Structure 1
Amino acid sequence: MLSPKRTKYRKTFKRFKKTVNRVPKTRLTFGSVGLRACSSGLISARALEAARRCITRSLKRTGQVWTCVFPDKPITRKPSEVRMGRGKGSLDHWAAFIRPGMVLFEIDGVRETLAAQALVYGSHKLGLKTQVIYAVPELSS
């Protein structure tokens, strides 16, 4: 599963409201077909890996797949039936904070219909509303 090699701090604050309006990576840069998030939320590293596996297996390992998000937010959890207090819980899993408009996956090297179908299969593994987007062909003059 995906996780950072090292971080400055083991646990971070919960930051839900982002005041920054800029969304990183809203257009396709590598592939010709991509999967864009339509809603915000957290995607765990397990869900990202499950979606990536589903996409590569439905493509039968042809073409190239890029994962454009990385789970770098540590999520902590306390054990069940533990009394209040006694500090923050231990690290449970890693997650990626997703904002609307972010590109999650990109595919190139296969037909667009096959790539779009693979991305739809992969989107079922994620807990967000998504849409398939296509690269705009460049106008050469």
Structure 2
Amino acid sequence: MLSPKKVKHRKVFKGRSRGVALRGSSISFGDYALKATICGFMSAQQIEAARITINRTMKRGGKVWIRVFPDKPLTSKPAETRMGKGKGAPDSWVAKVKPGTILYEITGVSEEVAIKALTLAGNKLPFSTKVVTKRGTL
């Protein structure tokens, strides 16, 4: 799974997800892309599951770019633990996603295969997405 090699702070605040993505909101590398339409957290496992789905649908043809990275730690306390006693230990890593963020880009395959691969990948994610091209939204 994806995770940072080193972080400045072991635990971070939850934060807020307001507004739209200013950076990472345009297609830079590929011809087709998967774009988030609402905000949310995308775990390292979900990033990997969507990547595998894209590669299998494209039959390992073409090229895939992953445009998000899980750099935010989520903490959790053990089951059946009383309230209090501080914040829990780091449990997993997530990427913070805002509306308009490009998640995956692909190139080197036909339009039908690209749309199918990105649609199936979007089904693996916990928020709604749409497939976009360099020309515009499909």
**Same fold (TM > 0.5):** yes
Match of 2:57 in 1: 58
The answer as to 2:16 corresponding to 1:16 is yes
Match of 1:91 in 2: 90
- Structure 1 stretches (4+) deviating beyond 2 angstroms? 20-23
Q: Which amino acid aligns with 1:80?
A: A
Match of 1:69 in 2: 68
| In structure 2, C-alpha distance between the alignment counterparts of 1:106 and 1:112, rounded to whole Å | 13
TM-score by length of 1: 0.92
| In structure 1, C-alpha distance between the alignment counterparts of 2:88 and 2:16, rounded to whole Å | 18
SS at 2:6 equivalent: coil
SS at 1:3 equivalent: coil
Unaligned runs of 5+ in 2: none
Q: Residue deviations 1:72-97, cap 9 Å, x none? A: 01000001111111111011100011
- Percentage of identical aligned residues: 46
| In structure 2, C-alpha distance between the alignment counterparts of 1:44 and 1:122, rounded to whole Å | 14
TM-score by length of 2: 0.93
Q: Which amino acid aligns with 1:56?
A: N
Number of residues of Structure 1 aligned to a counterpart in Structure 2: 136
Q: Residue deviations 1:6-29, cap 9 Å, x none? A: 0011111111245x7552211111
Over aligned residue pairs, what C-alpha RMSD do you find?
1.4
Match of 1:3 in 2: 3
Unaligned runs of 5+ in 1: none
